[in-house]
Amino acid sequence: MRGHIQVGSLRGIPIRVHFTFLLILPFLAWSFSQAFRAAAIAANVPPERLSGPPILWGLGVAVALFLSVLLHELAHSVYALAKGGAVSDISLMMIGGVSRITRMPDGARHEALMALAGPVTSLVLGALSLGVHLLLAGTDSFNLSFAFFYLGSLNIFLGVFNLLPAFPMDGGRILRALLTGKLGRVRATRVSGWVGQGFALLFGLYALLSGNFLLLFIAFFVFMGAAAESRDVLMQSRLGDVPVREVMSRNTVSVDASATLRDATELLYTERQRALPVVEGGRVVGLLMLESVRQVPVDRLSSVPVRELAQEVPVLTPDATAWEALKEMGQRRLTQLPVTEGGVLVGSLSQEDLLRALELRDLRDSKEPRQQGPWGFGGRENQSPT
């Protein structure tokens, strides 16, 4: 999570702020301050009766926007947790918020409802805020009336905008869930991705014509996000039923936690490895990365034990799927993972192993498309595709 600062947590979900949020905040404050008078007139509030300079109101609105985005993302996360999903964290960044859901709830229906939870939360918050604004109409509470009007308008816009079928935005995820029953998850994702990229191109064109650079950033991330999600689902369909034991390397060299970094360096060189499992008392306690060793001065290699640089790694068993392993590698920025059984090292799985698995499956699919097993490597009776 480079560039993120954790500012709190809720229900065990870390809430992080990316440095780009701090970069965009002054720009948003200035933009909202420029629209201050027009917004006051739209709220039927005399601008001269409002306290404080427009830039201060702009800053308050910008912060309120990101708090609204946080509530929007929390709605996704809480629903996912309630239905058996898993959430890694929530991040606030320049383009809004992102809930990293590492395990989706089972079934397209729950995925659609999870995606819908965010916009519904925004729309309800917007409606309540506008309701308070109307209740305050005709009173002397100009500041409160204007604040609730602005908050309500922002949340209504946030809810409606996210319902656009621009995958991977919420509306696009709902579209994908609706198509999954007829097309299957892979084809539904591909179609939703094309729709999302089409919307991204429209966003980008409008942003260029109007000079809205924030919308241009959003268009870029929607376009790239649609492509990345399509790739992820394709990889999941090809590796989701491949057990790690089928593709892992069994002749794995390890290094003892008490060995020096010089010993480890020689082992990395002779075995031509970029990482080594670290063992202590016969059990795996971490992973030593080549990049970590390179950061240590040469004159200290003989005095620093391996355990000081051993990086904690998740438990990966032979029964786990190759897709689960690939996700862990991506999230932790690792090139390989040790495979353990009862804490004892039984092999390792690298990105090269996964690439080879995909190539072998593609080869088998092309040669024997009607007789392949569920993994394309044999080892089980043939089954119908799910």
* Measured distance CA(329)–CA(233) in Å, rounded: 16
76 is in an annotated binding site: yes
18 is in an annotated binding site: no
Burial grade of 306 (CB within 10 A; 0-12, 13-18, 19 or more):
buried
* Measured distance CA(365)–CA(125) in Å, rounded: 51
Contact assessment for residue 175 and residue 165, using Cβ atoms and an 8 Å cutoff: yes
Q: Strand 86-93 vs strand 13-18: parallel, antiparallel, or unpaired?
A: parallel
Closest CA to 175 of 255, 211, 216, 229: 229
Q: Largest Cα–Cα distance of the chain, in whole Å? A: 81
Is there a single domain that holds both residue 173 and residue 229?
Answer: yes
Is there a single domain that holds both residue 278 and residue 136?
Answer: no
Long-range pairs, 372-376, Cβ under 8 A, ≥24:
374/241, 375/241, 375/242, 375/243, 375/246, 376/242
Q: Is residue 316 part of a domain?
A: yes
Percent of the chain with pLDDT over 90: 30
* Measured distance CA(343)–CA(315) in Å, rounded: 8
CA torsion, points 290, 324, 226, 70, in degrees to nearest 10? Answer: -90
Residue-wise pLDDT for 193-234, tens only, equals 999 999 999 999 999 998 888 788 888 888 988 888 888 888
What is the pLDDT at residue 171? 93
Is there a single domain that holds both residue 132 and residue 161?
Answer: yes
Residue 11 above 90 pLDDT? Answer: no
Q: Is residue 27 part of a domain?
A: yes
* Measured distance CA(274)–CA(289) in Å, rounded: 6
Is there a single domain that holds both residue 177 and residue 266?
Answer: no
Q: Which domain holds residue 158?
A: 4-239
**212, 239, 266 - which closes a domain:** 239
Is there a single domain that holds both residue 254 and residue 329?
Answer: yes
The arithmetic mean of pLDDT across residues 20-42, rounded, is 86
Is there a single domain that holds both residue 256 and residue 197?
Answer: no
Q: Is residue 368 part of a domain?
A: no
The arithmetic mean of pLDDT across residues 248-276, rounded, is 89
Is there a single domain that holds both residue 26 and residue 124?
Answer: yes
Is there a single domain that holds both residue 115 and residue 253?
Answer: no
Residue-wise pLDDT for 163-197, tens only, equals 999 888 999 999 999 998 889 888 899 999 999 99
Least confident residue range of 18-22, 63-67, 112-116: 18-22
Closest CA to 379 of 327, 329, 334, 318: 318
| Sign of torsion over alpha carbons 261, 251, 282, 345 | positive
Q: Is residue 136 part of a domain?
A: yes
* Residues with active-site annotation: 73
What is the pLDDT at residue 383? 32
What is the pLDDT at residue 2? 60
Q: Is residue 370 part of a domain?
A: no
The arithmetic mean of pLDDT across residues 86-104, rounded, is 83
Residue 61 structure tokens: 């609105």
Sheet-wide strand order for 283-289:
255-256, 275-280, 283-289
Q: Is residue 343 part of a domain?
A: yes
**210, 239, 268 - which closes a domain:** 239
**188, 220, 239 - which closes a domain:** 239
Residue 381 above 50 pLDDT? Answer: no
Q: Is residue 175 part of a domain?
A: yes
Tell me what the pLDDT averaged over the chain comes to: 85
Q: Is residue 382 part of a domain?
A: no
Is there a single domain that holds both residue 104 and residue 138?
Answer: yes
Q: Strand 4-10 vs strand 344-350: parallel, antiparallel, or unpaired?
A: unpaired
Is there a single domain that holds both residue 193 and residue 265?
Answer: no
The CATH number covering residue 336 comes to: 3.10.580.10
What is the pLDDT at residue 366? 63
Is there a single domain that holds both residue 232 and residue 312?
Answer: no
72 is in an annotated binding site: yes
String of b and e for 63-72 (b: at least 16 CB within 10 Å)?
Answer: ebbbebbbbb
Residue-wise pLDDT for 228-256, tens only, equals 888 888 888 888 888 999 889 887 889 99
Is there a single domain that holds both residue 97 and residue 214?
Answer: yes
> If DSSP states are collapsed to H, E and C, what string results for 84-149?
CCEEEEEEEECCEEEEEEEECCCCHHHHHHHHHHHHHHHHHHHHHHHHHHHHHCCCCCHHHHHHHH
* Measured distance CA(366)–CA(235) in Å, rounded: 17
Residue-wise pLDDT for 273-288, tens only, equals 888 999 998 889 989 9
* Measured distance CA(40)–CA(52) in Å, rounded: 13
Best-predicted range by mean pLDDT among 104-108, 114-118, 358-362?
A: 114-118
Task: Report the domain count for the chain.
Answer: 2
